[in-house]
Amino acid sequence: MQTEAELAEFLRTAPIIRSRKTQHGKFGVRKLRLEKDGVAAHAASRTIAVETGRKWLKGREIRFFRDHHIHEPAAYVLSELLGLGMVPPAVQRSVNGKPASLQIWVENSTMEVDGRA
């Protein structure tokens, strides 16, 4: 894959070879292995679609709480439009018959929660 457009197309079309739940997160992020035409990569997949009038988080009321899988692809597009380049490529696609987002997995990275003392 040479360009971000090719990477996005790979995320949209590559067959899912393996899927496993991640250790962190409450909303079912899965780590997928994709393979197509001799190329393999990992992706994070989310299918969450929650919208409530209010929700309590860490003792605070959040009104109009929304967590949705479309946020990752939207953040990626916005980052690219603004020239920031800060969000890993993400696309919308169906996973096991459910609408989902797939975002390229950032290999050899550390999650913030793992870096806390």
- pLDDT for 39 beyond 80: yes
Mean pLDDT of 54-79: 86
- What is the model's pLDDT at position 72? 92
- What is the model's pLDDT at position 94? 92
Look at 6 and 112; give whichever has higher pLDDT.
Answer: 6
Of 18-22, 45-49, 65-69, least confident by mean pLDDT is 65-69
Query: What's the pTM?
Result: 0.78
Instruction: Give DSSP secondary structure letters for the chain.
Output: --SHHHHHHHHHHSPEEEEEE-SS-SS--EEEEEEETTEEEEEEEE--EEEEEEEEETTEEEEEEEEETTHHHHHHHHHHHTT---S--EEEEEETTEEEEEEE--TT---HHHH--
Look at 23 and 90; give whichever has higher pLDDT.
Answer: 90
- What is the model's pLDDT at position 111? 65
- What is the model's pLDDT at position 33? 97
